[in-house]
Structure 1
Amino acid sequence: MGKKSNSTASAPNINIGISDKDRASVAKELSKLLADSYTLYLMTHNFHWNVTGPMFNALHQMFMTQYTEEWTALDDIAERIRALGHYAPGTYAEYSKLTSISEPTSVPDAAAMIQMLVEGNEAVAKTARAAFDKADAANDQPTADLLTQRLDIHEKNAWMLRSMLQ
């Protein structure tokens, strides 16, 4: 089975009012967002399974709420990349090259999990903000709308998690 790159998919000419160059630029940024989002999803799900301590129930539930929302968002991000005429990255190898989030090498305690998830949500927000700049410059309103929604969610998640550390 041949590997398809993140280059333009072989499809009919795309004429949605965004140049090929701008679509490629936005898709590249969305691919980074997808990688960061998947890495954060995986970390959050891992922590849901492995959290222990006196805050177990609250954290177990909070992590489940967050990873469930993140899982749904992955599809939205990948489908937007496809709508722009590019292939979405979908392997661990691709994600590891594109993500800005460091994964844990062991199971941290609950406080460290919370701190790592604060940093992960902040990283996704920064990546989404950079992608927003590209989408805005390309006059790509659907992508900008998606990114605004992601920013709102990740900034809120970071705030809620950060509040648990005070």
Structure 2
Amino acid sequence: MSAAATAATPEAKALYENAKAAAAAEYKAARSRCDGIAGNPKDVCIAEAKAARVRADADATAQYRNTLRAYTKARVDIANADFALDRARCAALTGNERDVCVERAKASRTTALADAKADKKVIEARSDAREDKRIAEYKVAAEKCDALAGTAKDQCVSAAKSQFGY
């Protein structure tokens, strides 16, 4: 996932800026719809608007940057926004129901954060394994070239280097 490949293009930057602007406009519209509501439903409405904006912004940023770090950060930001929304919904409840709701919200957030972290580690491990395999395959190809001599060996080594990215 190369950031230079995607983020450098003017089209990608324009898409990113359009997505951010659309998210801001949608948030503003959603927020204004909340003005006619009072009490906890208003808080929930505002939290829903914020969560939608965070989701749109995070997705746009992750796609624009196109890095593992950006995608992981997007998932964390979305998990935190969803947690804030769940907390707002829990505020309408009382007693044990509220406590259960808050614990459920915390559990959902913890699960989402753990999944994001685990996915990042899995992707990194696969990338490392792919690199290790590439190195091993290059060594095999280079060893096969040792049986040759002169120009044939040079061509074989050159072909192996180009095939495996050296």
Could you state the TM-score of these two structures normalised by the residue count of structure 2? 0.39
Between structure 1 and structure 2, the one with the greater Rg is: 2
Could you state the TM-score of these two structures normalised by the residue count of structure 1? 0.39
Q: Which has the higher contact order (CA 8 A, sep 6+)?
A: 1
More helix by share: 2
